[in-house]
Structure 1
Amino acid sequence: MYITIEGIDGAGKSTQIELLKTHFKNAVFTKEPGGTKIGQNLREIALNENLSELARAFLFLSDRAEHIESIIKPALKEKKLIISDRSLISGMAYSELSSLELNLLATQNILPQKIILLLLDAENLKKRLSFKTLDKIENQGTEKLLHIQQRLKEKAYLLKEKFECEILELNAKESIEDLHQKIIAFIECVVSLA
């Protein structure tokens, strides 16, 4: 079972992933971009070099293709639970040039079956960003991040519509523990059915 946790920076994905590691000890935990050694290098180039948006989009697609081939496919073959911090959904949301068609090619049509979507309102986003050092994307402001969040939601529901992926949509302003319990229940439900 391939599950992804999606949300903009500050939504709490990393916190929830760390908590899930203690609960699902046999799961494969990974991330996009940068889930493989090659992917880490591609991510560094994409985020830190002065590139055209098209070149950046193709670097992230290359990372995605390598991630599917090296991490996701072998874990699925072994019938492992896979929990990924982001997926093609983020790729399509963060880049206007990263289409569904290109992502299906990069992923060999291997998609997350279950999507956990952490959503933030403007007030809580501003509050959370005030506590951290901002990266290049976060420095573009809360309006830009909220636009990306809307695209994340649209892309997640596009996958649901076209490929019947299941979505758990959560308000990320809930307590860490409440979110964690809802996520565990969602994963345990789908894992027990698999």
Structure 2
Amino acid sequence: MTGAFITLEGGDGSGKSTQAALLQAWLEEHGRTVVRTREPGGTELGVEIRRLVQHTEGHVAPRAEALLFAADRAHHVATLVRPAIERGDVVLQDRYLDSSVAYQGAGRELDGGQIRDLSLWATDGLLPHLTILLDIDPAVGRERMAGREHAPYDRLEDTGLDFAARVRAAYLGLAEAEPNRFALVDASAAPETVHESVVSHVRAMLDAQR
């Protein structure tokens, strides 16, 4: 069976974790072995990088932040993602290089092209077969995030709406530039409705692989 690499992208509060869980269940019901992971944090090294970057109060230089994410991505792909794809599994991942382009590129106002090139070098050119972009208005996403209880401090979420708007615009630009890889989904709908849309795109991609 041919392996597949599916990533979920979107701003804070877009429902990536919820949709990943629903999609994993659907894939497993249809006989696929799923490796569910995330960036950063999909490996032991990634957990440490996630702690350093996201849960440390204080300033991290934007270029240092981008390099830390790229280091995590290189290790993650080499030790977990690529081997799983080669086994024929479906890798279902929360965030990948598009997050770096959107957050460190547009959000931190670095060069998005350089950020993308760095990630492609780190991963030896690996791109997802399908990227689901869960699009939501940043204000709505922030309202959802405010409803979470006992959430740990996340430095990347401790930003204003201007930052979030730049991130969203970058994501939409990426989806427009690569329509064959991206599937744009309205994440403001009910979770079940969003899931139906996600499944339609995943089914089409898997059918095309056969």
- Does the alignment reach a TM-score above 0.5? yes
Match of 1:131 among 117, 122, 147: 147
Corresponding residue number in structure 1 for 2:188: 173
CA displacement at 1:192 relative to structure 2:
2.3
Equivalent residues, number: 190
CA contact (8 A) 2:53 2:155 kept: no
Deviation >4 Å, runs of 4+: none
Corresponding residue number in structure 1 for 2:41: 34
Q: Provide structure 1 residue ranges, at least 5 long, that are not aligned to the other structure.
A: none
CA displacement at 1:139 relative to structure 2:
2.4
Question: Quick one: structure 1 residues 122 and 61, their matched pair in 2 at CA, closer, same or farther if it must change by over 3 Å?
Answer: closer
Cα distance in 1, alignment partners of residues 60 and 140 from structure 2 = 32
CA displacement at 1:16 relative to structure 2:
0.5
Q: Identity of counterpart residues, as a percentage?
A: 30
CA displacement at 1:130 relative to structure 2:
2.5
Q: Provide structure 2 residue ranges, at least 5 long, that are not aligned to the other structure.
A: none
Corresponding residue number in structure 2 for 1:24: 27
Aligned Cα root-mean-square deviation (Å): 1.9
Corresponding residue number in structure 1 for 2:77: 68
Corresponding residue number in structure 1 for 2:173: 154
**TM (normalized to structure 1)?**
0.89
CA displacement at 1:67 relative to structure 2:
1.0
Amino acid at match of 2:158: N
- 1:46 paired with 2:61, answer no
CA deviations on 1:95-148 (whole Å, 9 max, x unpaired) are 124622111101110101211101112442242133134632222122211211
Corresponding residue number in structure 1 for 2:95: 86
Corresponding residue number in structure 1 for 2:13: 10
CA displacement at 1:180 relative to structure 2:
0.5
CA contact (8 A) 1:43 1:59 kept: no
- 1:117 paired with 2:140, answer no
CA displacement at 1:51 relative to structure 2:
3.1
CA deviations on 1:24-71 (whole Å, 9 max, x unpaired) are 222111111111111111121222264322222111100000111011
Cα distance in 2, alignment partners of residues 149 and 183 from structure 1 = 19
Amino acid at match of 1:23: W
Cα distance in 2, alignment partners of residues 72 and 64 from structure 1 = 10
**TM (normalized to structure 2)?**
0.83
